[in-house]
Amino acid sequence: MAQGDVSKPNVVLIIADDLGWSGLGSYGSDLHETPNLDRFAAEGMKFTSFYAASPVCSPTRASILTGKYPARLHMTTHFENTGDYWRNYGVEHIDSTHLLQQPVTVGNLPQREWTLAEALRDDGYFTAHVGKWHLGNVEHYPENHGFDLNIGGTQWGSPDTYWYPWTGNKTWMHIRYIPGIVYGAGKGSYLPDRLTDMALEVIEDRGDQPFFLHLAYHTPHTPMEGKPELVKYFKEKVKPGMKDTNPDFAAMVYSLDENVGRVLNKLNEEGISEETIVIFLSDNGGRTEDFRDWGPITNNAPLKAGKGSLYEGGLRVPCIIKWPGKTKPHASSDFPLVTIDILPTVLDMVGLKKPRPLVDGFSFAHMLSHKGDEVAREAIFWHYPHYYPGTTPVNAVRMGDWKFIHYFDTDSIELYDLSKDLGEVNNVAGENPLVAKQLFASLSLWRADIRAQMPTRNKYFRE
Ligand SMILES: [Ca+2]
């Protein structure tokens, strides 16, 4: 391992789970209260056209750590729906209800992938993962992907419960647990609080090396379990006609914000906030469909739809970055960026030259240091060959203000002008056939180029 270089900035990357674009106060929520993240947004740079590379968890997380499109990794769906997961059971994932068969995808982030953690560790960083991993079985846990320390990371997505001991008796997910956080905790301990306790210890116990903290909260993903006093508070605050109306979700967002505040305060207390890059983002849009007993989870308005969908509500997420000495307070950008850009951007920010992983993403470090306001990329692409509540297998591209969507099962196309129609209400493919044709060609070429896995005719389908 290279010697630590104290002149290198620390990197804290905080990932929220299923927090939609308009889920923070500073991004337009009328119910949620997020004073810490709002203050952080005012101190750092706020991105308003930042996209998840996938509308669901695992693929976006893989894109952050590898800088690659999920379709190139063949990691296009959440772990519990992948070929690697179903293979554990020795069965084919048979679904007779859908016209198309999803491809057999990768759920275990391949060990040959060179992750952001490996790049930083090889550059002398101490690397710690705390929280949700969701990128494969035990052989593919964080400790096998460049992290010196793994607290809480497993193959699973959401926890069975947010309450101590974070496993147990609630649902079929009772076998899920969060390792490495039980000792020293007790009854009433709430998961995001506990993960933060551990993250603060990582910060306190740092040695002479710079550190990379990959802090992935499960919050505000289901199960809907806010702290009772907060749920009560937001129940009383909800008024008819509000955009956001779910007090449980609001309580969970409040706890997320409070814990991000604890991390930021700790950096101040330790006197290292001026030498620590902090990035906050979410892994996909908020869930809008009814789910179990919780009803609709949240609302991403003015964006359309939510988690699982390639409409803006499924993809566009909050993203705030503070690079001390570089980003200016109250800075913002609406230039389209995507989670595959995080890896090259972080490596640029810490001054890592070579060797570097080959990636699909573009560095936007120059945007953060106000030496430019865009990256030289023609388009951003998405490929989601899966069914999910609210969508059928689909792929999409954003080029300039145009957004083009193609559904595989109906072979139907949609074109939206996001500059006039952020809510994707008016399909203008008919009025702009040349634009639609160009974007469709570009999307098809990209799919072929990265060898995206395609859905096939489902032989088990019964009308
Ligand atoms: Ca998620």
pTM metric for this prediction: 0.97
Ligand 1 geometric centre to CA of 177 (Å): 18
Report yes or no: 402 and 415 within 8 Å, Cβ to Cβ.
yes
Ligand 1 geometric centre to CA of 91 (Å): 26
pLDDT in tens, 120-143: 999 999 999 999 999 999 999 999
Ligand 1 geometric centre to CA of 56 (Å): 5
Report yes or no: 434 and 415 within 8 Å, Cβ to Cβ.
no
Q: Which two tokens stand for residue 82?
A: 């992948």
Q: Which two tokens stand for residue 92?
A: 């084919």
Ligand 1 geometric centre to CA of 371 (Å): 32
Ligand 1 geometric centre to CA of 367 (Å): 27
- Using the predicted structure, report yes or no on whether residue 321 has a pLDDT greater than 50: yes
Ligand 1 geometric centre to CA of 99 (Å): 26
The DSSP output letter for 391 is B
User: What is the model's pLDDT at position 6?
Assistant: 56
Ligand 1 geometric centre to CA of 55 (Å): 8
- Using the predicted structure, report yes or no on whether residue 244 has a pLDDT greater than 60: yes
User: What is the model's pLDDT at position 1?
Assistant: 37
CA atoms lying within 13 Å on the CB side of residue 404: 23
Ligand 1 geometric centre to CA of 431 (Å): 35
H or E segment and range at residue 282: strand 276-282
Ligand 1 geometric centre to CA of 459 (Å): 30
Report yes or no: 180 and 198 within 8 Å, Cβ to Cβ.
yes
Ligand 1 geometric centre to CA of 378 (Å): 27
Report yes or no: 459 and 102 within 8 Å, Cβ to Cβ.
no
| Residue 7 binned pLDDT confidence (cut-offs 50, 70, 90) | confident
Ligand 1 geometric centre to CA of 127 (Å): 22
The three-state secondary structure class of 327 is coil
Q: Kindly list the distances between the CA atom of residue 338 and the CA atoms of 174, 281, 369, 382, 433, in Å, as whole numbers in the listed order.
A: 34, 11, 18, 10, 27
Ligand 1 geometric centre to CA of 283 (Å): 5
Ligand 1 geometric centre to CA of 285 (Å): 7
Report yes or no: 294 and 248 within 8 Å, Cβ to Cβ.
yes
In whole angstroms, give the CA distance from residue 276 to residue 366: 17
Of 455, 462, 390, nearest to 102 by C-alpha is 455
Ligand 1 geometric centre to CA of 432 (Å): 34
Better-predicted residue by pLDDT, 160 or 381: 381
In whole angstroms, give the CA distance from residue 435 to residue 440: 8
Of 219, 214, 212, 168, nearest to 57 by C-alpha is 219
Q: If you average pLDDT over every residue of the chain, what do you get?
A: 95
Ligand 1 geometric centre to CA of 129 (Å): 17
Question: Percent of the chain beyond pLDDT 90?
Answer: 89
Ligand 1 geometric centre to CA of 162 (Å): 16
Ligand 1 geometric centre to CA of 156 (Å): 12
Ligand 1 geometric centre to CA of 381 (Å): 19
Q: Which two tokens stand for residue 461?
A: 């389908």
Ligand 1 geometric centre to CA of 447 (Å): 24
- Using the predicted structure, report yes or no on whether residue 430 has a pLDDT greater than 60: yes
pLDDT in tens, 275-316: 999 999 999 999 998 888 888 999 999 999 999 999 999 999
pLDDT in tens, 27-73: 999 999 999 999 999 999 999 999 999 999 999 999 999 999 999 99
- Using the predicted structure, report yes or no on whether residue 3 has a pLDDT greater than 70: no
pLDDT in tens, 156-200: 999 999 999 998 766 667 778 899 998 889 999 999 999 999 999
In whole angstroms, give the CA distance from residue 184 to residue 259: 19
Ligand 1 geometric centre to CA of 164 (Å): 22
Ligand 1 geometric centre to CA of 167 (Å): 19
Residue 12, burial from CB neighbour count under 10 angstroms (0-12, 13-18, 19+): buried
Ligand 1 geometric centre to CA of 28 (Å): 20
Ligand 1 geometric centre to CA of 252 (Å): 14
Residue 4, burial from CB neighbour count under 10 angstroms (0-12, 13-18, 19+): middle
3-state secondary structure 415-451: EEECCCCCCCCCCCCCCCHHHHHHHHHHHHHHHHHCC
Ligand 1 geometric centre to CA of 134 (Å): 10
Ligand 1 geometric centre to CA of 221 (Å): 7
Report yes or no: 275 and 351 within 8 Å, Cβ to Cβ.
no
State mean pLDDT over 344-362: 92
Ligand 1 geometric centre to CA of 258 (Å): 20
Ligand 1 geometric centre to CA of 58 (Å): 7
The size of the chain, in residues, is 463
Q: Kindly list the distances between the CA atom of residue 5 and the CA atoms of 120, 122, 347, in Å, as whole numbers in the listed order.
A: 11, 12, 14
State mean pLDDT over 236-258: 97
In whole angstroms, give the CA distance from residue 448 to residue 445: 5
